[in-house]
Amino acid sequence: MRLLFHALCVLHCITLSYAGNKELQKLVKMVNSLNTTWKASEEIFDSIPDEVFEQLYGTTFNSTDNIEVLSSFAYANTGMIPESFDARTQWPHCPTIRYIREQGRCGNCWAVAATEAMSDRYCIHLGKVLSLSAADPTTCCTRCRPKPAGCRGAYGPEAWIYWKEEGIVSGGDYRSESGCKPYIFPPLTKSKYDVKPSKAVTPSCIRRCRPGYKSSFNDDKHYGKRVYKIRGRTIRENEMAIQMEIMTNGPVQAGIKVYEDFLGYKSGVYQHHYGRLKGGHAVKIIGWGVENNVTPYWLVANSWSRKWGMNGCFKIRRGRNEGNIEGRVVAGLPMY
């Protein structure tokens, strides 16, 4: 069954034929007709072409890696977990936590979410404001699986292992003069960069920094010291372990199953109601809380621009592995 789901994820990243706006409009109306915990909206489809959504899923769940596994027993004082937590306010001096990246039309969410969380952790642990380049692992991670990775997607932990073994250079937004290797794909939303909504193709790896940058590619590499998965023996233990990891070390990467109704998410606490499975997607969990003193949720940063969801973020039901959000959580610590 796992192998079948893995195959479906990869096929969805590559070959999914999109049904169009009418189907999504129908889903939005169906969700909003329910007395549920979240609201959907058609607004996002004015900013993001509907045929582009099929290109965004790029993480798979059937990984055979042997990285370290941490459970709630790895943390002390699990009884001190607060009802709510937001990494943005816990570490206000770290702007990367608040920043929403745009992955563009490339299924490299596995690299985007990972480098976001790594950048946050450099600031939290070292006091260094640094934006690691998602373009580096996207184009140069030859060990990342399933091959070829890049815009075709990869297993959740791959970018973290690459960070530890080969290092990742710095890099800012598309067409920016920030860092060694700025992002290489234009924004997802309709913009001056658009020609037509074509799918991104992974460029060849170029191991050198942009012209005029102060350091060489190898000298600009930043490394991870430790990489691990967070997994408890029970759903509750798993939830507590994720909370303790975020409180202690910063945001984490998670993999979720994306269903059609998720595309129209606007506000509230998401839980799946309608639509088919579209594929796997990597995101960054930055906190948690309880909506209206009733519904527990994870607070999550997406990479589909600030025009999507709640300024680029969303809430998803916590404590029952909604969309597999608690099933594939990965993190690590920077080299000191």
Which residue in 23, 65, 124 sits closest to 333, CA to CA? 124
Which among 62, 238, 249, 302 is annotated as catalytic? 302
CA distance 27 to 82: 35
Q: Which amino acid makes up residue 298?
A: W
Active site residue 281: yes
Distance from C-alpha of 86 to C-alpha of 76, rounded to nearest angstrom: 20
- Residue 32, SS3? helix
C-alpha torsion 315→318→322→328, nearest 10 = 100
Of 109, 144, 209, 313, the active-site residue reads 109
What is the per-residue DSSP string for 288-328?
EEEETTTEEEEEEE-SB-TTSTBTTEEEEETTTTGGGTTTS
Name the catalytic one among 62, 151, 249, 281. Answer: 281
Q: Among residues 117, 116, 123, 121, which one has the least CA distance to residue 102?
A: 116
| Cα angle for residues 223, 227, 230 (degrees, 5° grid) | 150
* Active site (catalytic) residues: 109, 281, 302
